[in-house]
């Protein structure tokens, strides 16, 4: 989702260098089918992204560009159809984005610029000595209480290590994978914070990809056996989805999901309730030859798409 300024600021501060060839692992004669998520019901003229589902698949929370900043929207699946999305009960006043559901559905993490202390100003973004008022991003948690949400609580400073944190993903053991600041220069890196006895450990950098790879938007499997990320190797290139598997020696090299999946810019990876379906957002368009090419949502905006990861997971065994 590129229109909100909060995304532009985040992207503009990233240092990129180098180039590498993508590695494709899907057989050319059996590409996976990529389909739009909920056309007409959710997919429309607006920019949408980052679909987080409850374990039963009956509720989805996603971010939408409303023109005044990103808002978290909620929709329920009723009688086989998705309801008209509405702003989540805890969202709509601040810039809220990047929702991520805990595997057991007990809570949601999200990113927000809302004040760190009640009654205070929204979080400022501080980067390279420059301050941007109200454009910061920290991680927040909101518990699921029956069929409604509780009150959001900011995660501790041990996780919110700087004013630009984004893209959380939650493993079954409570560990969080996210994008945050690390190193003396405060570069944006893929980080992990372990959760033990009710506390988050200080995050550490996850060794994934080569030195030329820029990693964004992790989606961790609940058992941490694999991770899907957005990767790019050149400043002017698009982000492409790739998958990596845990090995006895750490993470395997991220492997590109191929051109059938990566049409346009592909970001915001999330795993569906079955942990085998990938949801992501992209500005891809249907080709003119597609019977649905005239649909109003086929407008070049960011929409939520889905694809089965079965070819990669089954091949891995």
- Average pLDDT value for residue range 201-222: 92
Say if CB 45 and CB 301 are below 8 A apart: yes
CATH-assigned architecture of domain 5-25+46-254: 6 Propeller (2.120)
Q: How does pLDDT run across 111-156, given as a tens digit for each residue?
A: 999 999 888 999 988 887 889 988 899 999 999 988 899 999 999 9
- Nearby residues of 291 by Cβ (< 8 Å), 6 or more positions away: none
- Please write the tens of the pLDDT for every residue from 5-41: 334 434 433 333 222 333 334 444 566 889 999 988 9
Reported as a pLDDT band with limits 50, 70 and 90, residue 45 is confident
Predicted local confidence at residue 157, as pLDDT? 93
Calculate mean pLDDT across residues 185-191.
87
Average pLDDT taken over every residue of the chain: 87
CA distance 153 to 171: 19
The pLDDT value recorded for residue 312 is 94
Question: How many CB atoms are located within 10 Å of the residue 63 CB?
Answer: 29
Q: Which of 206, 241, 209, 199 is nearest to 224 (CA)?
A: 206
> 235-294: per-residue pLDDT in tens?
788 999 999 999 999 999 999 999 999 988 899 999 999 999 999 999 988 888 888 888
Q: How far apart are CA 268 and CA 50, in angstroms?
A: 5
Greatest alpha-carbon pair distance for the chain in Å reads 58
Residue 178 CA to residue 109 CA, distance in Å, equals: 11
Per the CB < 8 A criterion, the answer to whether 263 and 280 are in contact is: no
**b (16+ CB within 10 A) / e for 21-59:** ebebebeeeebbebebbbeeebbbebbbbbbbbbeeeeb
230 or 237, higher pLDDT: 230
312 vs 32, higher pLDDT:
312
SS3 call for 314: helix
Distance CA(183)–CA(189), nearest Å, equals: 9
* Higher-scoring residue by pLDDT: 44, 71: 71
Q: Mean per-residue pLDDT for 166-173?
A: 97
The mean per-residue pLDDT over the stretch 193-200 comes to 92
Residue 1: per-residue pLDDT: 52
Closest CA to 42 of 7, 77, 70, 79: 77
Is 311 strand, coil or helix?
A: helix
Complete DSSP assignment for 76-131:
EEETTEEPPPEE-TT-SSS-EEEEEE-TTSSEEEEEE-S-SSTTSPPPPEEETTEE
Please give the residue that has the higher pLDDT: either 181 or 105.
105
Of all residues in the chain, the percent with pLDDT exceeding 70 is 90
Give how far Cα 227 sits from Cα of 55, 96, 199, 224, Å: 19, 24, 23, 7
Give residue limits of the domains in the chain. 5-25+46-254
């Amino acid at each position: 989702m590129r229109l909100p300024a909060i995304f532009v600021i985040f992207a503009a501060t990233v240092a990129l260098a180098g180039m590498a060839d993508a590695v494709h692992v899907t057989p050319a004669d059996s590409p996976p089918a990529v389909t739009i998520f909920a056309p007409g019901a959710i997919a429309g003229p607006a920019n949408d992204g980052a679909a987080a589902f409850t374990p039963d698949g009956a509720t989805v929370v996603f971010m939408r560009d409303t023109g005044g900043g990103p808002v978290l929207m909620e929709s329920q699946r009723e009688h086989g159809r998705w309801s008209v999305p509405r702003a989540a009960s805890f969202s709509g006043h601040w810039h809220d984005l990047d929702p991520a559901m805990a595997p057991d559905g007990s809570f949601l993490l999200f990113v927000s610029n809302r004040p760190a202390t009640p009654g205070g100003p929204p979080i400022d973004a501080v980067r390279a000595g420059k301050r941007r008022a109200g454009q910061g991003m920290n991680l927040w948690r909101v518990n699921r209480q029956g069929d409604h949400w509780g009150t959001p609580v900011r995660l501790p400073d041990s996780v919110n290590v700087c004013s630009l944190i984004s893209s959380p993903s939650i493993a079954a053991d409570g560990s969080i994978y996210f994008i945050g600041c690390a190193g003396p220069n405060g570069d944006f890196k893929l980080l992990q914070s372990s959760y033990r006895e009710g506390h988050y450990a200080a995050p550490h950098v996850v060794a994934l990809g080569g030195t030329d790879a820029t990693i964004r938007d992790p989606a961790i499997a609940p058992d941490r056996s694999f991770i899907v990320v957005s990767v790019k190797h050149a400043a002017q290139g698009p982000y492409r989805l790739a998958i990596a598997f845990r090995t006895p020696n750490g993470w395997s090299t991220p492997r590109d999901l191929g051109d059938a999946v990566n049409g346009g810019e592909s970001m915001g990876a999330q795993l569906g309730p079955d942990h085998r379906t990938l949801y992501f957002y992209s500005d891809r368009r249907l080709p003119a030859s597609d019977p649905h090419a005239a649909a109003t949502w086929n407008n070049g905006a960011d929409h939520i798409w889905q694809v089965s990861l079965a070819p990669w997971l089954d091949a891995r065994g």
